[in-house]
A = this chain, B = another copy of it.
Amino acid sequence: MSPVTAEDVARARAAIGDVARHTPVLPSATLSERAGGANVLLKAESLQRTGSFKIRGALNKLASVGDACSRGVVAGSAGNHAQALAFAAQARGVPCEVFMPAEASIGKAEAAQALGATVRLAGAAVDDCVSAARERAAETGMVFVHPFDDPDVVAGQGTLGLELLEDVPDLAKVIVPIGGGGLASGVAIAIKSARPGIEVVGVQAETVAPFPASLQAGEPLEAPQALTIADGIAVKRPGKLTLALVKEWVDDVVVVAEDDVAEAMVMLLEKAKLVVEGAGAVGVAALLAGATRAATDGATVVVLSGGNVDAGLLATVARRHETLVGRRIVVLTRVPDRPGALAGLLDCVADAGANMVEVSHLREGVDLHVRETAVQLVMETRGKDHAAEVLDAIARGGYVAGIIRG
């Protein structure tokens, strides 16, 4: 028998239902259309309390240990698991300590503190924090809560699958992010126990994607540490339990490129009006990039597993997209070094309808005549066609110009 069963998930639902939200499933016209008329829906788990699915597993773990956690719970995490455990512990009235990497964002540390957790900084990597948390649990009698490799946590995450079974009668396929594998295996167990014909596909970010090789080897293999925009699923090594469960229950695991994740985040912002973190957007990236396909018969649900991303990263991702689609271009040109020359250039640009964001003079390191100045213009345009018109207008004005980015 599987170490986590549909009955475990059903029990978890009863244990967490008063605190965890039943998050909405939203239609996506854009993804449905791009998938050639399939029916693609989004499970907006980004709207869950604490901004991710992790609250489900944390609450179930607390329910499962019962009075044994009266001394408190402890975990090591850089983000979502820490916030979720802090929230769950507060809801159940038990103390909570989280070990976070020294360079974790102050925002995340503050969020855990605001939820009543004691935050301790430990080492540089998440692994060091997990070790520190285990030691602390051994010393104090607090209960250590693993972010994924724990049957109670897996069963808790599986409750998301039960909601899909209820909300989407013609469910045919589920696409779900994989980091440690707790969510993917829990959801697959819940769904395929009830309706084995539904396909469940996991998605990893290719920068840190140990699952495909580990599944093939039949044991957890470690991927090198790396920076990824999907930091919430940057887990170097699958759990022993979760690898076995993913092997048993999940149909396939695919990988997506960093750029596709960034574009998926922007598509979700612009079209679905949802803020989704990189880790939460890999499923959409997989559909858009063709790493997996929507079901032709019945509904495909993409799980948006979390939305914890700060305004700075959102701004960076959005700007990058503006440049990609030609709505922001950087142009290098040159003007004679005399009064009025720059004004003439800017008139050209204004007449062409571009919005000037930044003008800078470059006098050094550029091959120029003595009486010339190089000028770099950063402009907003209405898209690639308009950008081309703006460049034409500059050329017609007698300026030699080239696009640097855009």
Which residues does A use to contact B, with CB under 8 Å?
Answer: 21, 24, 26-27, 29, 46-47, 49, 51, 103, 105-107, 266, 269-270, 272-276, 307, 310-312, 314-316, 318-319, 321-322, 327-328, 353, 380, 382-383, 385-386
Contacts and interface: CB of A to CB of B under 8 A. Distances in A.
A49 B29 contact: yes
Given A273-B46, A307-B273, A319 B315 contact: yes
A387 to B, nearest CB: 11
A272 B21 CA distance: 14
Contacts of A322: 311-312, 315
B307 A314 contact: no
B106 A383 contact: yes
A318 B309 CA distance: 11
Given A106-B386, A382-B106, A314 B310 contact: no
A382 B275 CA distance: 21
A276 B273 contact: yes
Contacts of A21: 27
Nearest to A46: B273
A55 to B, nearest CB: 12
Contacts of A328: 312
Contact of A51 (B26, B273, B312): B273
Contacts of A386: 106
Copies of this chain held together in the complex: 2
A318 B327 contact: no
B273 A274 contact: yes
19 contacts: A47-B273, A51-B273, A106-B382, A106-B383, A106-B385, A106-B386, A107-B382, A107-B383, A269-B311, A273-B275, A275-B275, A311-B319, A311-B322, A311-B327, A312-B319, A312-B328, A312-B380, A314-B314, A318-B318
A314 B312 contact: no
Contact of A310 (B106, B107, B270, B315): B270
B312 A315 contact: no
A134 B382 CA distance: 28
Given A106-B385, A107-B382, A314-B314, 16 more contacts: A26-B47, A29-B49, A46-B273, A47-B272, A103-B353, A105-B382, A106-B386, A107-B383, A273-B275, A275-B275, A310-B327, A311-B321, A311-B322, A311-B327, A312-B322, A314-B315
